[in-house]
Structure 1
């Protein structure tokens, strides 16, 4: 008898568990449609509806009065414009980079290249760019030049992203050239010409492409780096072959690469929609933009009402983006469950999860960073890179520039190449302009403790004798840091090596 009771209980528990776990994917409506209903079971919304934007009134049960209709359209346009701010942030980010490089560095064609020969400075506000490697980049336009060749020298590390800021290819050891250099051929949408042999070929869904790479070793810096890239990195139309070009030392000359945070965002968005192929974006997203007056082939002339809505929508989009990044609600955001170090790519670099777009994970990356590549989320020891961010101290409070903090980096950081910690301005997500050193890492040769650990200090004033290990903060600003692992090894990938949290020194 006892066995029968136990068996029945187990069967009941298993059945209840299965029922609780059933999400409806296998629901058979022929068995579960419920009891019969009639028209009298329909429960309409009331004639008066209270909302955050006012009370809405409907005459005859459903007809909105004039004031309610206006409130509804104002709110509808505001909501759609706010969501558009975040939905289109990735292509906006790439476009403002390309536009900035042409405008601020004086590029005359896609063959001109920029070189951060004396390293990036706070006057060039690239999202979480670093100031310890020499960057080179090109702004490519397939609508102007058609099929375009990017000829790279051996030893490069970098990638190319399309007009939607989606991954096209890596350059270097993680790319098809395997670090030996070679010719990459980017084809425009709808290309029907012959594809020659001897190229690494990529079809781009959009016209504009941003190509970025880093150089090490013999590249050097200063004039040497400019000359090195000018002689070896070439971008040119397939049809014409190599053409006249220049390399520009961009370090310290200033640039504004960031998407606007006011109503002008939508003017810039219209520029993208008018230029890029319609197929680059989903019909659903384009349909929402059309209700806001942004539609391919039509002039964008917002009236005073819409200008006010765009101004507010941009601010709300920024507020939401800041919150998603700095107070992320994703349960997988932390790299170590008992630390405040957070992932920049939460799950993958395609921003997908269970068959849908992982929209908040996309914002986590794109609002604070640029470039998309699977090798920025390395799972192969010694290959690629991995980044972690930190916005809070051990107590869970945000990092503020008027405080002093200590970060103890345990011995033997698991990297094949090098590691670095860089401080960023929370407002611009770009290099912190504190008037002092903002990066400490293995290449800067900090003082090392007897046990192999490194104590780093962050604050407006340097603790006595800690100059090599100090990052200067701005007492008027919040800041955050990115810990970069170049060639992360197993200790990082398997999480057996654990970073400490920031400790506030009072």
Structure 2
């Protein structure tokens, strides 16, 4: 930034901080008021006002159509985190057949593209539970030692971590989640959390010690329990959900708003900001009232969803945030721009919230680790070294610099930009240190992307789909100081001719 720009910013700041009693400005009279014109051009058509300000019937219709469209579009984005968690919980009941919170899912053979979890990985074994405090009341999640994971509330906000970064410090223990307004006696021996909403999604990761397949299912069946506090442990099932198919994504059409109405009707109103709820009420979504959109509103909802998706795609794939790049001279981008609370300078960081929630799930401060060897770190890349989007019909090479600063392992996984889920290319989509890739003489690792593997490079190849683009997430499990302090760098994607 130039000295002149800095000086101009300083003057603007000084002007904003002036004492209005000392500098109210030049005297004005009623004649100084400049009203909007009686005829105006807008991006939704010309408007006319009779008598100076009374909107004509034609203008009234245009205005309300646009007003409802704008409010619905913003509502789609504002409530997307809550819709995302609801869609996950509903999918596990609908698609996996879960009957209670004691029925647990495990991706025992790793996640596959048939389960479209937002940037889920196929490098670790997931275990998860869908909890409903309105159904079960205070609920216990009893975890074994060594688990990594977290629990998020109905608005997809952080409740707690499990494992080494949680209160059990990796020793395992009993977590007790209390519903909104619960006034019951809290027993000793639990890590206690009061949830502002009823539904909770609890997710854990297992590493090599849990095994895969039937071994992983049995491992979790013997060690992980979820049950109402009132009943104590009850009959549970553990299902291998790998390859079973599930749709965990919120709709991208007008049906999104029916899902949003379900959430508003079920969860306590206090879970959401009253201003946002007020805007929803103008759209016919209000707690305790039937949701009956007419043909006009159905049309508006459908268009609003599409517009909101377009805006979300721009925020994720073409961010205008000046802090988006992890290294200023690379095209690798942050998934959490500043923090995991999505706040900046005392206000909600709404574009940063969309950036994360439209492409990913779960919120925890340890997903943005600054403690060496603890937690995880994630970076995305959508573009090659020239700034062009990554396309599946082209060939690329990514050189991972030698000695990645990571305690556990690193991995590069390819994703579908439409679903933001695992790329369904019919081939390998992850290369990482756990897979023992071929290493160059200098310690670097070359990863190749394209529809066909270069000769002799099959082990280090990720298959792409020529019909669509792709993006990647680079994961570090247990990032070390070289990454945290940015001394180690990832290279950009190189387009191969």
TM-score over 0.5 for the pair: yes
Computed over aligned residues only, the root mean square deviation of the Cα atoms, in angstroms, reads 1.2
* 2:136 paired residue number: 145
In 2, Cα distance between equivalents of 1:192 and 1:54 = 55
Q: Secondary structure at the match of 2:47?
A: strand
**Which stretch of the first structure deviates more once superposed, 16-25 or 467-476?**
16-25
> Aligned-pair distance for 1:217?
2.9
In 1, Cα distance between equivalents of 2:277 and 2:447 = 48
> Aligned-pair distance for 1:218?
2.5
* 1:204 paired residue number: 195
* 1:10 paired residue number: none
Q: Secondary structure at the match of 2:204?
A: strand
Of the candidates 436, 460, 467, which is equivalent to residue 469 of structure 1? 460
Encode CA deviations 1:433-476: one digit per residue, 9 max, x unaligned: 00000000000011000000000000011100001100000000
Of the candidates 233, 236, 254, which is equivalent to residue 224 of structure 2? 233
In 2, Cα distance between equivalents of 1:296 and 1:23 = 45
> Aligned-pair distance for 1:22?
2.3
* 1:6 paired residue number: none
> Aligned-pair distance for 1:50?
0.6
In 1, Cα distance between equivalents of 2:210 and 2:136 = 28
Of the candidates 12, 33, 39, which is equivalent to residue 30 of structure 2? 39
* 2:102 paired residue number: 111
Does 2:303 align with 1:312? yes
* 1:5 paired residue number: none
> Aligned-pair distance for 1:132?
1.2
TM-score, structure 2 normalization:
0.98
* 1:186 paired residue number: 177
- Pick closer, same or farther for the CA change 1:86–1:23 going to 2, 3 Å: farther
> Aligned-pair distance for 1:25?
5.3
Of the candidates 96, 101, 112, which is equivalent to residue 121 of structure 1? 112
Question: After TM superposition, where is structure 1 displaced by more than 4 Å over at least 4 residues in a row?
Answer: 15-19
* 2:255 paired residue number: 264
Does 2:96 align with 1:98? no
* 2:412 paired residue number: 421
Q: Secondary structure at the match of 2:21?
A: helix
* 2:11 paired residue number: 20
Encode CA deviations 1:383-423: one digit per residue, 9 max, x unaligned: 10000000000000000000000000110000011000000
* 1:436 paired residue number: 427
Does 2:362 align with 1:376? no
Does 2:409 align with 1:407? no
In 1, Cα distance between equivalents of 2:474 and 2:300 = 38
* 1:391 paired residue number: 382
* 2:237 paired residue number: 246
In 1, Cα distance between equivalents of 2:56 and 2:229 = 61
- Pick closer, same or farther for the CA change 1:474–1:240 going to 2, 3 Å: same
In 2, Cα distance between equivalents of 1:422 and 1:290 = 41
In 2, Cα distance between equivalents of 1:333 and 1:230 = 41
In 1, Cα distance between equivalents of 2:472 and 2:391 = 12
* 1:67 paired residue number: 58
* 1:351 paired residue number: 342
- Pick closer, same or farther for the CA change 1:52–1:416 going to 2, 3 Å: same
In 1, Cα distance between equivalents of 2:452 and 2:90 = 38
**Mind listing any 5+ residue stretches in structure 2 that lack a counterpart?**
none
- Pick closer, same or farther for the CA change 1:296–1:31 going to 2, 3 Å: same
> Aligned-pair distance for 1:16?
6.9
**Mind listing any 5+ residue stretches in structure 1 that lack a counterpart?**
1-12
In 1, Cα distance between equivalents of 2:126 and 2:231 = 27
Does 2:155 align with 1:155? no
Q: Secondary structure at the match of 2:11?
A: helix
Q: Secondary structure at the match of 2:95?
A: helix
